[in-house]
Amino acid sequence: MPAHGETRRRMLDAAVAVMREKGASGVTIDEVLARSGAPRGSVYHHFPGGRQALIRETLDYAGESYSGMLERAAARGPDAVVTRLVEFWTRVLLDSDYRAGCPVVATAVRPPDGNEVIGRRAAEIFAGWQLAVAGAFTRAGVPGRQSATAATTLLAALDGAVSLCRTTRSLAPLNDVAAVLPRLVTL
Amino acid sequence: MPAHGETRRRMLDAAVAVMREKGASGVTIDEVLARSGAPRGSVYHHFPGGRQALIRETLDYAGESYSGMLERAAARGPDAVVTRLVEFWTRVLLDSDYRAGCPVVATAVRPPDGNEVIGRRAAEIFAGWQLAVAGAFTRAGVPGRQSATAATTLLAALDGAVSLCRTTRSLAPLNDVAAVLPRLVTL
DNA sequence: GTCTATACGAAGATAGAC
DNA sequence: GTCTATCTTCGTATAGAC
């Protein structure tokens, strides 16, 4: 007897996990059902738009959670962003046995075949993150133009580090990058 | 009247392009045929092992070409590596309308579902790149331990930058990252 | 070496029973 | 809200003609 959106919630959590591992185009109804244990009849009940609707809601669901974390860290400055993100990704990588990455970047980089709209939506979400991090640099005294550059470099290096952690099945790339990042983005 | 392996070669080129955009799991026989214009009957003629064989040969084919470029650049030092890779990725991104990335990293990060072997093969290829770049740092006077860290950071930052270029449909992330990367040598 | 036809399986989507 | 067909599409693979 699931309460309000409990099945729905479980499906979204499962879909986020799949999207982390395989991107939006890897989110299949069958796998979400298998991982969530939800009944097949629930799919078109909770997501009348079918697979595309499920993917869209999964993307927003994942994006909002990450945005919240990033903005809270950004309020405490650029160093806090690095610290918090390294902490977060360490946990994600270990919990997934080095299989999970960022669902939003994965979706922006490679949208599902007949659906560029979802790719643009992912790009918008990412742009918000870039803005939040740039704000942290600005408040830390970095001139406006260079704040954007520093934010881009920080996010690029961390995203690449996560990819390399998945590739090497090790946390070393993340730690290597984190150790050097303060010098790369400081004047 | 195709000579020796001309059809085969065209199929491999097409497969590399698909692998750049969608990773190994996105390499389907149908799409390779469509892009290469090769006849359907050629598939099992040139690749008796079917799709898995095609993927494996595509990975090696792409990996060797990149390894060659990287080693030639590494022989000229860390700055030459950055310059050469930025040049290379600028062209790849523009030619593909920001759809293409690195086929080897894509395959290592997310191997096709029933085939972890290909993922390990991709990881090995990548490890060779890391070694080549670390050698360049060592020869430039960076102490051994830090050469590995610098190489990892360089490759991570560039890979992340390419992802962000695809996300933002712009070359800015690549140029932003390239501007600060030379500081790695002076650490 | 190349082409057509076909078998087979996976996955999305819909309809109808409970 | 949930479950069970069923239809369709797509992709892999094989067989057999040319």
Express as a percent the part of chain B with pLDDT over 70: 97
Q: Is B79 helix (H, G, I), strand (E, B) or coil?
A: helix
**pLDDT tens sequence across B38-63:** 999 899 999 999 999 999 999 999 99
Contact B58, B31 (CB under 8 A): no
**Angle (nearest 5°) at CA B144 between B140 and B145:** 130
Report how many Cβ contacts below 8 Å link chain A to chain B: 124
**Residue type present at position B9:** R
For B143, counting Cβ atoms within 10 Å of its Cβ (0-12 exposed, 13-18 middle, 19+ buried), the class is exposed
Distance in angstroms (rounded) separating the CA atoms of residues B86 and A42: 48
Name the token pair of B53.
């064989």
Quick one: DSSP state of residue B110?
S
User: Which residues, including other chains, have CB under 8 Å from residue A88's CB and lie 6 or more apart?
Assistant: A69
Closest to B152 (Cα-Cα) out of A75, A161, A136: A161
Cβ–Cβ gap B159/A163 under 8 Å: yes
- Under the banding of pLDDT at 50, 70 and 90, the label for residue A4 is low
Contact B185, B142 (CB under 8 A): yes
Closest to B102 (Cα-Cα) out of B80, B85, B115, B124: B85
pLDDT above 80: residue B2: no
* Averaged pLDDT, B152-156: 98
Torsion of Cα atoms, A100 then A103 then A105 then A109, to 10°: 90
- Under the banding of pLDDT at 50, 70 and 90, the label for residue B187 is low
Contact A81, A38 (CB under 8 A): no
**pLDDT tens sequence across A36-73:** 999 998 999 999 999 999 999 999 999 999 999 999 99
Residue B156: closest C-alpha in chain A: A160
User: CA of A2: how far to CAs of A6, A10, A42, B89, in Å?
Assistant: 6, 11, 12, 50
* Averaged pLDDT, B63-92: 98
- Under the banding of pLDDT at 50, 70 and 90, the label for residue A187 is low
Residue A43 CB closer than 7 angstroms to strand C? Answer: yes
Say how many Å lie between the first and final Cα of chain A, rounded.
Answer: 58
User: Of A21, A22, A180, which has the smallest distance from its Cβ to B184's Cβ?
Assistant: A180
Q: In chain A, what residues touch B123 (CB-CB under 8 Å)? A: 167-169
Quick one: DSSP state of residue B5?
T
Tell me what pLDDT residue A71 has.
98
Express as a percent the part of chain B with pLDDT over 90: 91
What's the pTM? Answer: 0.96
